[in-house]
Amino acid sequence: MKWLQRLEINIGANNINKLKKSTVVIIGLGGVGGHALESIVRSGIGNVVIIDKDVVDITNLNRQLISMHSNIGEYKTDVAKKRILDINPDCNVKCFNIFLDKSNIDLLFNEKADFIIDACDKVTTKIEIMKECIKNNIPLISSMGMGNRLDPTMIEIIDIKKTSYDPIAKVIRKKIKDYNIKQKITVVCSREKPFKTIDKIPGSNSLVPSTAGILCASLVINSILKKH
């Protein structure tokens, strides 16, 4: 594929084929998930499954890659699929326009995924994804909270048991302890202490979630290349 020739210089034709045959599932197409998806697709992943129920909102414009004034009100999955195929027309894209929860989570494991990126917002869904990925032996990276932070250099890939300052990670750490989960759970998380806001809506910017998304994609790509 000529459009991937610069990447082929870095990793070789055999690895390009490995990426082309791989399947990555991305749950949530917001600030983190949208940038993760972009990097995954531009790295030549040949099969992508995207899951999100939301539509593009005007408040997404400051940080979410797929959001434009021209697509406000459209389903994020539809917008993302159009963008993916404009980058790589040969990419096999499967969309699920749903809120993922315990009642429908089994659909994830019908996709024979090589990796799952969890960029959703709901803690209960995150925990279910973690439990099922462990049960089915599917590699996972889960994004913790990226709101109310400004420093992208404080973001890292880490075991959830070693996280600090993140309210979402704190809740999940307790839950996995309650479930007696011993396995390592890989997350992308910030060491930056979130600042407090007047209302309950978290502040956001284009710097922090985008970095988290690219880090997720980096782990996925490098993990797939190291397999076999």
Closest CA to 112 of 228, 38, 21: 21
Let me know: does 133 contact 181? Beta carbons within 8 Å.
no
Summarised one tens digit per residue, pLDDT across range 77-88 is 999 999 999 999
Block residue for tokens 């070693």: 162
Let me know: does 71 contact 82? Beta carbons within 8 Å.
no
* pTM of this structure: 0.97
The architecture that CATH gives domain 21-226 is 3-Layer(aba) Sandwich (3.40)
What is the rounded CA–CA span in Å between residue 211 and residue 200?
Answer: 23
Domain ranges in the chain are 21-226
pLDDT tens over the chain, length 228 residues: 799 999 999 999 999 999 999 999 999 999 999 999 999 999 999 999 999 999 999 999 999 999 999 999 999 999 999 999 999 999 999 999 999 999 999 988 898 999 999 999 999 999 999 999 999 999 999 999 999 999 999 999 999 999 998 999 999 999 999 999 999 999 999 999 999 888 788 999 999 999 999 999 999 999 999 985
Tokens standing for residue 18: 């490995």
What is the rounded CA–CA span in Å between residue 181 and residue 204?
Answer: 32
Half-sphere exposure of residue 58: CA atoms within 13 angstroms, side-chain side = 0
Contacts of 36 (CB under 8 A, 6+ apart): 26, 117, 119, 213, 214, 216, 217, 220
